Amino acid sequence: MSYRFSSARRLSCALIATTALTLCAGSAFAASVDHYTLTKNGVTLEISAPRADIIRVRAGDPALPEDASWAVSQAVRAQHVPLNVTEAADAVTVSTGEASVKIDPNTLAVSVYDKAGHVVLADAKGAALQFDPDHLGQGFRLRKAMPVDAHYFGLGDKTGPLDRRNEAFTNWNTDNFGFGVATDPLYKSIPFVLGVDEKGQSFGFFMDNTWRSTFDFGKTEPDALDINVQGGGVDYYVMTGATPADIVQDYTYLTGKPPLTPEWALGFQQSHWSYMTQAEAKGIADRLRADKIPSDAIWLDIDYQDKLRPFTVNKETFPDLPKLVSDLKAENMHLVVITDLHIAAAPNAGYAPYDDGMKKDIFVHKADGSTFVGPVWPGDAVFPDFSRVAARDWWGEQYKDFVRMGVSGFWNDMNEPSVFNTPTKTMPLDNIHRIEEPGFATRNATHAEMHNVFGMLNTEATYDGVLKLNPDQRPFVMTRASYAGGQKFAATWTGDNSSSWAHLQLSVSQLVNLGLSGFAYAGDDIGGFAGDQPSPELLTRWIEVGAFNPIFRDHYQKDKPAQEVWVNGPDQEAIRRQYIDERYRLMPYIYSLADENSRTGLPLMRPVFMAYPKVVAGGDHLGGTDGYFMLGADLLVAPPTTWESPAAYKVTLPGSGWYDYWSGEKLASDSTMETPKLDRLPVFVRPGSIIPKQPLTQSTGETPVGPLTLDIYPGDDCHGFIYQDDGISFAYKAGHFLRQSFTCKITKSGLSVDFAAREGDYKPWWTGVTLLIHGQAAAAKASLKGKALNADFDASAHTLRIDLPDQAKAATVTIQP
């Protein structure tokens, strides 16, 4: 049911007679409808709500844009909660019961309120919505009010500080080799903003529009978020949920959650542009194993290909790729290969992807209808038109041989798309794409419209194609370019960073903002891609931080000195190994976060304000927490503010009672002084954490030997959980997983640790569990169902260690003096 009126027909009782609820009283009325449309001066505005706490606003001049999206599924867009509409001469109120919208019928200015009546997001004073602001015949401009105490996050891995306030950004996927700490735009366009004010109130704003756009967060006009979009219609969502964590979940409700990753992709990965031969690649794997550097994958960059042509193999340098795959497999190592989207324009050369693609008319056309050709790595190249299902299917089939030989992961690079030797670094904006997509009207679209979504559609084609070829295995795709919702298809990395302290620092805000923008699986080139060789200290520090990032891959540019873990000698290697080891010990915790992400959309790597929104009241730098990050809800990583400086610095934690992760010691207050030491990355644990850990392995494919350890850090709201499955297949969807939560309570006489009953039927690798309780001052006795358990007190570590058999059912361990 819908309701629509124009100003000429406003307040007509007859017109509303068909709606479910009608009320005519004097000059106002109320009605219940599933979307509400208003027209003023030829502009049409529509309000609807896919969920009671999410408002969708569409507008067009004169007509509404097509109700289609590359980011929000049809199923989500088809949901409409009932709206109660109240009209008066100066304001229309549309309410879902959870949120409401006030529209000024004269200016079409829109303000969104939460249930309690607080403003969530209001249009700025003055012109709120303008079509064709540049008088180029298309596009629009929106201005939203920026309250003084509001801070803004999201937009993916933009450079600059974590907080976007006072910055301006362009959404236009761009290959920006060796970008600086203020370069914009970069590779991805994710027009999603998370706003948090100093009272902790949050909102989300997602502009579902693929055209080039700019978001100016008060840089030009203080207190106004000025959004300019160069084409298409207005189609945005306002999420009114209360906390930052709610908003991120709401955003992934709209745009989708990442599928559960194969576990090996959470391991350490080694890459280089390029390992030039099969022997070299195998040698890197062998060295990782010989040096006992836990690791899970080796990556092949473009030089494994014949003449740099995608979907070929250089038989001289890689004579037997299937053997490399099986040799690596024997070492529990996975192979990831690059497969760029630019198919070499090589006619009459026996290059099947070109010949077949041309025959089937797969590639993007120029405005004159001929196939567009542009230079990239292989020289002249053509580009599949990924907006056609047929082209995506065709692309997916190209993976047949690689999937058959057991290659585990695929890397989609250069998919902005990058085109060399053009001032715009990409294809002409008037190139023609064909939209042949369920849910869309079939039509031609210019590259200007499709550019920002092209890389994501490339990854959709890869993900779907690889899945179809091997339906029992979780695909792993890595992408450089993407759009909102691209997290459903691929992990991502931040592109061609440089080996500098500034870039290491930048990686924190880039990865945190990616996580807030849906991309939970994100990493950067550890050690830096471009620039000079990293100093030994820089590479060591980068590995330390990377050990707590979601994706952990060392990668570096051609012709740069080696950047593997062992360069710079055994002392540096020992520190680096210690951190990589720790990541593998923490794997049960990290993989459990991956499970949580696949169910909720909550990122693995988080800003401190996600769990502690009060830090937002700490000003521009969020009380100094903008350089910190959290891995899950429990671990807080506080790198030095000036990485290379030996000066002591203060770490301020969001509350008291935190523990030092490395020593297990409980901190006396909510802050602590740190003196930088190369082998120490300060990491702290939330009081109330229960962290599952495993004995060290050399890869995620190796079965740990020994008990599952639950590191317990007593405090309020004490809980944790573990998720396990086979790490690689979809068997978990049929119940072959294990999920178990734990809680702990400080009781009058001691402590109790509760195991909840286990979900799923996956058989764990452990038969015993060790509880390692931190912050203990004295020895204690432990018991389970009235039977005494062995409890060892370590006075110097302040820990109590209790060993018990595996507990699949609900059970309580009681600890008393």
Least gap, CB of 637 to ligand GLC (angstroms): 25
The DSSP bridge partners found for residue 411 are 338, 478
Distance separating alpha carbons of residues 290 and 356, to the nearest angstrom:
44
Least gap, CB of 481 to ligand GLC (angstroms): 10
- Centroid of chain to Cα 612: 20
| DSSP class per residue in 492-520 | EE--S-BSSHHHHHHHHHHHHHHHHTT--
Least gap, CB of 358 to ligand GLC (angstroms): 24
For helices 244-255 and 501-516, angle between their N-to-C axes, nearest 10 degrees: 70
Q: How many residues belong to the site for ligand GLC (CB under 6 A)?
A: 11
Residues 496, 525, 554, 596: which is the catalytic one? 496
Using the rule CB under 6 A, is 413 a contact of ligand GLC? yes
Q: Under 8 Å CB-to-CB from 747, ≥6 apart: which residues?
A: none
Using the rule CB under 6 A, is 302 a contact of ligand GLC? yes
Q: Which is nearer to ligand GLC, 558 or 599 (CB)?
A: 558
Q: Find out whether 398 and 462 touch, Cβ atoms under 8 Å.
A: no
Q: For the segment 315-374, give every residue that binds ligand GLC (CB under 6 A).
A: 338
Using the rule CB under 6 A, is 491 a contact of ligand GLC? no
Q: Find out whether 613 and 196 touch, Cβ atoms under 8 Å.
A: yes
Distances (CA, A) of 726 to 42, 262, 606: 58, 9, 26
Q: Under 8 Å CB-to-CB from 136, ≥6 apart: which residues?
A: 230
Distance separating alpha carbons of residues 124 and 140, to the nearest angstrom:
15
Least gap, CB of 693 to ligand GLC (angstroms): 32
Closest CA to 579 of 646, 665, 662, 693: 662
Q: Which is nearer to ligand GLC, 178 or 322 (CB)?
A: 178
Which residue of 53, 167, 385, 496 would you call a contact of ligand GLC, by CB under 6 A? 496
In angstroms, the first-to-last Cα distance of the chain is 67
Q: Which is nearer to ligand GLC, 305 or 776 (CB)?
A: 305
Using the rule CB under 6 A, is 554 a contact of ligand GLC? no
Using the rule CB under 6 A, is 417 a contact of ligand GLC? no
Three-state SS annotation for 641-702? CCCCCCCCEEEECCCCCCEECCCCCECCCCEEEECCECCECCEEECCCEEEEECCCCCCCCC
CA atoms within a 13 Å half-sphere pointing along the CA-CB vector of 704: 24
Known catalytic residue at 626: no
Using the rule CB under 6 A, is 158 a contact of ligand GLC? no
Q: Which is nearer to ligand GLC, 301 or 564 (CB)?
A: 301
Distances (CA, A) of 121 to 18, 201, 250, 362, 718: 32, 11, 16, 43, 35
Least gap, CB of 175 to ligand GLC (angstroms): 7
Token pair 């004073």: residue: 125
Q: Which is nearer to ligand GLC, 202 or 557 (CB)?
A: 557
Site string for ligand GLC, 173-202 (x = CB under 6 A): ----x-------------------------
Using the rule CB under 6 A, is 157 a contact of ligand GLC? no
Least gap, CB of 20 to ligand GLC (angstroms): 55
**Cα torsion 4, 5, 11, 13: sign:** negative
Using the rule CB under 6 A, is 651 a contact of ligand GLC? no
Q: Which is nearer to ligand GLC, 244 or 486 (CB)?
A: 486
Q: Which is nearer to ligand GLC, 192 or 483 (CB)?
A: 483
Using the rule CB under 6 A, is 301 a contact of ligand GLC? yes
Using the rule CB under 6 A, is 495 a contact of ligand GLC? yes
Q: Which is nearer to ligand GLC, 420 or 649 (CB)?
A: 420
Residue 8, by phi and psi: left (phi above 0), alpha (psi -120 to 50) or beta? Answer: alpha
Known catalytic residue at 413: yes
Site string for ligand GLC, 418-457 (x = CB under 6 A): ----------------------------------------
Least gap, CB of 496 to ligand GLC (angstroms): 5
Known catalytic residue at 327: no
Q: Which is nearer to ligand GLC, 338 or 448 (CB)?
A: 338
Using the rule CB under 6 A, is 299 a contact of ligand GLC? no
Distance separating alpha carbons of residues 51 and 77, to the nearest angstrom:
10
Q: What is the CA radius of gyration of the chain?
A: 28
Distance separating alpha carbons of residues 215 and 191, to the nearest angstrom:
8
Least gap, CB of 530 to ligand GLC (angstroms): 8
Q: Which is nearer to ligand GLC, 458 or 597 (CB)?
A: 458
Distance separating alpha carbons of residues 341 and 455, to the nearest angstrom:
9
**Cα torsion 515, 518, 523, 529: sign:** negative
Distance separating alpha carbons of residues 549 and 556, to the nearest angstrom:
18
Least gap, CB of 297 to ligand GLC (angstroms): 15
Using the rule CB under 6 A, is 519 a contact of ligand GLC? no
Residue 805: how many other CB atoms lie within 10 Å: 13
Distance separating alpha carbons of residues 364 and 419, to the nearest angstrom:
13
Using the rule CB under 6 A, is 416 a contact of ligand GLC? no
Query: Could you tell me where the DSSP H helices lie in 371-439?
Result: 389-397, 400-405
Q: Which is nearer to ligand GLC, 288 or 414 (CB)?
A: 414
Tokens read off for 310: 């995608």
CA atoms within a 13 Å half-sphere pointing along the CA-CB vector of 680: 13
Q: For the segment 369-408, give every residue that binds ligand GLC (CB under 6 A).
A: none
Distance separating alpha carbons of residues 627 and 638, to the nearest angstrom:
7
Using the rule CB under 6 A, is 304 a contact of ligand GLC? no
Using the rule CB under 6 A, is 480 a contact of ligand GLC? yes
Residues 416, 554, 596, 626: which is the catalytic one? 416
Using the rule CB under 6 A, is 273 a contact of ligand GLC? yes
Residues 184, 235, 413, 544: which is the catalytic one? 413
Least gap, CB of 556 to ligand GLC (angstroms): 8
Among all residues, whose Cβ is closest to ligand GLC? 273
Distance separating alpha carbons of residues 261 and 603, to the nearest angstrom:
13
Least gap, CB of 495 to ligand GLC (angstroms): 5
Q: Which is nearer to ligand GLC, 300 or 610 (CB)?
A: 300
Least gap, CB of 305 to ligand GLC (angstroms): 10
Residue 433, by phi and psi: left (phi above 0), alpha (psi -120 to 50) or beta? Answer: beta
Distance separating alpha carbons of residues 121 and 305, to the nearest angstrom:
51
Least gap, CB of 156 to ligand GLC (angstroms): 16
Q: Which is nearer to ligand GLC, 142 or 478 (CB)?
A: 478
What's the one-letter identity of residue 804?
A: L
Catalytically active residues, by annotation: 413, 416, 496
Please report, as ranges, the residues that interact with ligand GLC according to CB under 6 A.
Answer: 177, 273, 301-302, 338, 413, 480, 495-496, 529, 555
